[in-house]
Amino acid sequence: MGRWLVNGEAAGVVDIEDRGFAYGDGLFETIAWRQATPRLLDRHLARLTAGCRRLALPVPDAGMIRTQLASLGAGTRNGTAKLIVTRGPGPRGYRPPSLPAPTLAIGFFPAAPGEPRPGAVAVTCTVPASENAVLAGIKKLGRLDNVMAQAQVMAVGADEGIMFGGDGRLVGGTSSNLFLVRAGQLFTPAIGSAGVAGIMRDLVLEIAAGLGIPSVVGRLGTPDLAGAEEMFVTSSLVGIRPVHRLDGRVVGTGPLTARLMQALAEAGVREPGP
């Protein structure tokens, strides 16, 4: 069970008229807690701030978030933290309140030290990703397309699902960003009308640039999946996880993926968490 603070109160509750509950009117961040500290917190707070500005939500105080996270995670080396910001309670109907009273919920979930994860078994999903250029990139609430896709993944005993837009364009994993490797180059789908601009995705692209690995961020489809020599997914909680099998086809963990994993570890992102 998680430990929660709602607007700073340990026994706080969320108003039934909260717009996050009614309309998914809000944002969230999922943060790896490793070695008794929130990993890449500055990047998460920057994305949260950008998302709040996109949705015209008041930006929560970063210092307050840091203080509350430290309180919830005190004495714990490994776990997961979650931030949820909503527009708060409001009148019935879609029209947002002119003076919102945002809700800030911060949760912490302790975990034992992890075991090394094998390569992921992935499947392609038939549930399309929701597309909206206004909302693409941010960690918005109301992710029913991902929920439905994950149900497909669970039904076949896989680890991750690969999602497409309605036009067949690759978007990413159900809970991750996707990278493909071909001919020494790194490829990842553009975040233009769907998908999340992942914290780990951005970090991997930065590390690749520093290593002189050419990267292509653009439109990808089924032929790119079929032609990939290596494949991996990224997220804040797993760092880089190689995909060893996609729809029954074996995909090797090659040298470029291994090189990026080593560079990421040297940058402080080691999984499983200590």
Whether 273 shows a pLDDT value over 60: the answer reads: no
* Confidence at 11, pLDDT banded by 50, 70, 90: confident
CATH number of the structural domain spanning residue 228: 3.20.10.10
Q: What is the CATH number of the domain that holds 99?
A: 3.30.470.10
13-43 per-position pLDDT tens digit: 999 999 999 999 999 999 999 999 999 999 9
Query: Are 84 and 147 in the same domain?
Result: no
Same structural domain, 248 and 173? yes
pLDDT confidence band for 112 (50 / 70 / 90): confident
Residue 118's pLDDT is 81
Q: Measured between alpha carbons, how far is 204 from 130 in angstroms, rounded to an integer?
A: 25
What is the pLDDT confidence band of residue 1, given thresholds at 50, 70 and 90?
Answer: confident
Single pTM value for the model: 0.95
Q: Give the pLDDT confidence score for residue 121 in this predicted structure.
A: 96
Is the pLDDT at 79 greater than 80? The verdict is: yes
Residue 249 lies in a domain: yes
Distance CA 37, CA 33 (A): 5
Identify the DSSP state of 18.
B
Buried b (16+ CB within 10 A) or exposed e, 140-163: bbebebbeebbebbeeeebbbbbb
Asked whether residue 125 falls in the same domain as residue 230, the answer is yes
Are 159 and 258 contained in the same domain? Answer: yes
Mean pLDDT of 169-188: 97
Task: List, for residues 159-169, the tens digit of each pLDDT value.
Answer: 999 999 989 99
My answer on whether 105 and 128 are in the same domain is: no
Pairing between β-strand 120-124 and β-strand 239-246 as defined by DSSP bridges: parallel
For residues 241-249, give the mean pLDDT.
95
On the question of pLDDT at 274 being above 60, the answer is: no
Distances (CA, A) of 234 to 54, 78, 100, 201: 24, 19, 34, 6
In a domain, 274, yes or no: no
Domain that holds residue 225: 120-266
Where among 62, 83, 110 does a domain terminate? 110
- Quote the radius of gyration of the chain (alpha carbons, Å): 19
Looking at the predicted structure, is the pLDDT value of residue 213 above 70?
A: yes
Q: How many Cα atoms sit within 13 Å of 77 on the Cβ side?
A: 7
| Tally of domains in the chain | 2
Neighbours of 78 (CB within 10 A): 18
Same domain, 100 and 125: no
Domain boundary (110, 143, 171) is at: 110
pLDDT of residue 252: 72
Q: How far is CA 177 from the centre of its chain?
A: 8
Among 121, 113, 116, 108, residue whose Cα is nearest residue 29: 108
User: Following DSSP, what letter does each residue of 191-246 receive, concatenated?
Assistant: -SSSSB--HHHHHHHHHHHHTT--EEEE---HHHHHH-SEEEEEETTTEEEEEEEE
Q: What is the pLDDT of residue 259?
A: 96
Q: Is there a single domain that holds both residue 11 and residue 133?
A: no
Q: What is the mean pLDDT of residues 37-53?
A: 97
- CA nearest neighbour of 179 among 212, 156, 154, 213: 213
Q: Taking the chain, what is the end-to-end CA distance rounded to the nearest angstrom?
A: 20
- Domain final residue pick, 88, 110, 132: 110
Q: Are residues 129 and 184 in the same domain?
A: yes
* DSSP code at position 118: P
Residues in the chain: 274
Distance CA 204, CA 266 (A): 12
What's the mean pLDDT when you consider all of the chain? 94
131 and 253 co-located in one domain: yes
CA 83 to the chain's CA centroid = 12
Whole-angstrom distance, CA of residue 54 vs CA of residue 50: 6
In tens, the pLDDT along 121-151 reads 999 999 999 999 999 999 999 999 999 999 9
Strand partners, 29: 83
Q: Collapsing DSSP states into helix, strand and coil, what is residue 273? A: coil
Place of tokens 């944002």: 27
